[in-house]
């Protein structure tokens, strides 16, 4: 397998040999101005002329794959990078296990693969749209820069998927690429595909929850696609995951810093309420966790899914780290036990493992989220507070799968809809919470300064100190 070298001085930086494929190059160069128009309209528009200290992917080398510099976001070099393979990849998921991975899309899986790639692709611009106003409330220049870093990289993830659509799906793929720039997060007529990506994310508590919980769904979905028998998709997702780590860092540490500050303010306040001190109270953080975590559980699809079984059988998607964590890649003989709502009660059922693959991936995701919650609770413990955060049950507040259409309390007990309605604002981020959070989030544009409601990070980023001018205002 010849490895294409990295082309950086071309219109579209890439390591997929675009210069040797004039037809594909022209098609992508035709899409490029439309992408830039979308960015101009739907990206962090009001900061287009600012210099931002950004990292740009410039190679796929494990050491030094990124370059750091001041960049104006519309000038960001969005490129197409695939993790190289040194040897022929073999399929290690589903019925075709052991055969060579596909370099082309098999005709019988064309529609399924297109659908998976389009669904993945659609989330990337959606998240940029959801976050487009947050620069105006940034708690510091450090945070603003991190927001913009996440935004430009989600843009690059769109490029990664659009490359696959253009290269492997002909006219259908080019049409899909156009439509990806036409749907809009939250638009009633042409919404984004998945529910969570139409939810407003209009303050920084939601932004950190989004990068903590929603980008983490991204991590697990990309990890599942990294195991795909369609090798260009697997290699594309492998490289996206290197960028994704920073998005998850932003979310997890962002919440840690809010928890730290909220704990301090809770102790300072005579009533033990951080809101009394102009900060974010612990209950509101818990409600934000409940809200975003449950919307993100939906992103894994139905608990019992013939789609998931088909994806696994065909080798289109694997489990999290399928290659190194599992011996049996057929998953034909096992069952998965889960609680299924039936006549107002929960009944334990056995589901063939392949049909439960969405739930298997959700399990790994939940375990990862639990790890982060333990870290946040350590902060509370250190501050001498008895309050503890908790992830709600996977049945609580669901809009997809077998629990959708039923009502549960955060512990997962079935409750009547009227009780849920009455308790909703106690359990989930409410309009009143959002209004309060927006009211305290005034932008802080002075280098090194932090908003009152968040603790500073341990250190700066990109080799710079915390008081560096990360965005030149
Ligand atoms: N909203 O068998 P089912 C990221 C639909 S995030 C709306 O349950 P399946 C990122 C489903 O399409 C990662 N509809 O689901 C993060 C199906 O429709 P049809 C994104 C939904 O197919 C932050 C029906 O319900 N990547 O990268 O097994 C920032 C029943 O299907 C939802 C991917 O999602 C929903 N939540 O699994 C930036 C990977 N869930 O057939 C980026 C690609 C299900 O009845 N996607 N439906 O019309 C997939 O692999 C699968 O499509 C899903 C769903 C896991 C999403
Ligand atoms: Fe992404
Ligand atoms: Fe991300």
Segment 370-395 mean pLDDT: 98
Q: Is this model's pTM higher than 0.95 or not?
A: yes
**Ligand 1 site-directed mutation target among 116, 243, 301, most atoms within 8 Å of CB:** 301
**What separation in Å is there between the alpha carbon of 237 and the centre of ligand 3?**
12
- pLDDT at position 61 is 84
Where b means 16+ CB within 10 Å and e means fewer, 244-281 reads bebbbbbbbbbbbbbbbbbbbbbeebeeeebbebebbb
Pseudo-torsion of CA 237, 240, 245, 247, nearest 10°? Answer: -120
Report how far residue 408's alpha carbon sits from residue 417's, in angstroms, rounded to the nearest whole number: 8
- Is-contact 92 40, C-beta < 8 A? no
The arithmetic mean of pLDDT across residues 317-322, rounded, is 98
Interval 155-177 mean pLDDT: 98
Average pLDDT over residues 335-344: 95
> For all residues of the chain together, what is the average pLDDT?
97
What Å distances lie between residue 199 and 28, 184, 233, CA to CA?
A: 30, 11, 28
pLDDT band of 2, cuts 50, 70, 90 = low
Per-residue confidence (pLDDT) for residue 3, from 0 to 100: 63
Q: Quote the ligand 3 centre to 418 CA distance (angstroms).
A: 37
Task: Read off the pLDDT of residues 18-28 as tens digits, 9 standing for 90 and up.
Answer: 999 999 999 99
DSSP secondary structure code for residue 11 in this structure: S
Helices (H), 349-462: 357-382, 417-427, 431-440
Task: For residue 220, give the ligand nearest its CA.
Answer: 1
Q: Which two tokens stand for residue 469?
A: 């001018």
Mutate to test the pocket of ligand 1, among 128, 239, 307 (most ligand atoms within 8 A of CB): 307
Query: Inter-axis angle of helices 215-226 and 231-268, to 10 degrees?
Result: 160
Instruction: Show the domains of the chain with their CATH numbers.
Output: 18-472 (1.10.620.20)
pLDDT tens-digit series, residues 193-232: 999 999 999 999 999 999 999 999 999 999 999 999 999 9
3-state per-residue secondary structure call for 110-139: HHHHHHHHHHHHHHHHHHHHHCCCHHHHCC
Residue 345: which H helix or E strand, with range? Answer: strand 345-352
Q: Enter the tokens of residue 386.
A: 């008895």
Paired residues of 70 in beta bridges: 53
pLDDT in tens, 266-298: 999 999 999 999 999 999 999 999 999 999 999
């Amino acid at each position: 397998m010849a490895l294409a070298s990295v082309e950086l001085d071309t219109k579209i930086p890439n390591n997929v040999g675009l210069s040797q494929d004039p037809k594909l190059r022209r098609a992508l160069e035709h899409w490029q101005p439309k992408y830039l128009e979308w960015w101009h309209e739907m990206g962090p528009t009001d900061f287009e002329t600012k210099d931002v200290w950004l990292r740009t992917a410039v190679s796929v080398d494990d050491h030094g794959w990124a370059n750091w510099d001041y960049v104006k976001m519309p000038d960001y070099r969005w490129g197409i990078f695939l993790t190289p393979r040194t040897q022929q990849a073999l399929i290690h998921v589903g019925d075709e296990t052991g055969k060579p991975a596909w370099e082309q899309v098999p005709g019988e899986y064309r529609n399924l693969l297109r659908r998976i790639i389009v669904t993945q692709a659609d989330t990337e611009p959606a998240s940029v749209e959801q976050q487009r106003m947050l620069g105006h409330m940034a708690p510091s220049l450090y945070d603003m820069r991190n927001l913009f870093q996440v935004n430009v990289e989600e843009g690059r993830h769109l490029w990664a998927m659009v490359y696959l659509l253009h290269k492997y799906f002909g006219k259908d793929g080019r049409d899909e690429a156009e439509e990806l720039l036409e749907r809009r997060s939250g638009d009633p007529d042409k919404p984004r595909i998945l529910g969570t990506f139409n939810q407003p994310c209009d303050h920084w508590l939601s932004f950190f929850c989004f990068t903590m919980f929603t980008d983490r769904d991204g991590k697990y979905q990309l990890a599942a696609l990294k195991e795909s028998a369609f090798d260009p998709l697997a290699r594309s997702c492998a490289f996206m995951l290197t960028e994704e780590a920073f998005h998850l860092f932003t979310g997890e540490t962002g919440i840690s810093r809010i928890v730290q500050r909220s704990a301090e303010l809770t102790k300072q306040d005579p009533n033990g309420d951080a809101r009394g001190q102009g900060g974010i109270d612990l209950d509101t953080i818990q409600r934000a966790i409940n809200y975003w975590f449950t919307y993100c559980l939906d992103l894994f699809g139905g608990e019992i899914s013939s789609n998931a079984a088909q994806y696994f059988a065909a080798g289109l998607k694997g489990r999290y780290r399928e290659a190194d964590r599992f011996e049996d890649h057929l998953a034909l003989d096992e069952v998965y036990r889960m609680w299924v709502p039936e006549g107002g009660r929960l009944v334990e059922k056995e589901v063939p493992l392949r049909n439960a693959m969405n739930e298997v991936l959700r399990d790994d995701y939940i375990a990862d989220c639990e790890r982060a919650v333990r870290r946040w609770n350590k902060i509370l413990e250190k501050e001498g507070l008895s309050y503890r955060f908790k992830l709600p049950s996977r049945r609580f507040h669901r809009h997809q799968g077998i629990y959708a259409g039923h009502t549960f309390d955060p512990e997962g007990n079935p409750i009547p809809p009227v009780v849920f309605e009455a308790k909703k604002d106690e359990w989930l981020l409410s309009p009143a919470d959002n209004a309060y959070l927006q009211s305290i989030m005034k932008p802080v544009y002075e280098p090194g300064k932090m908003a009152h409601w968040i603790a500073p990070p341990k250190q700066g980023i990109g080799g710079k100190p915390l008081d560096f001018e990360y965005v030149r205002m």
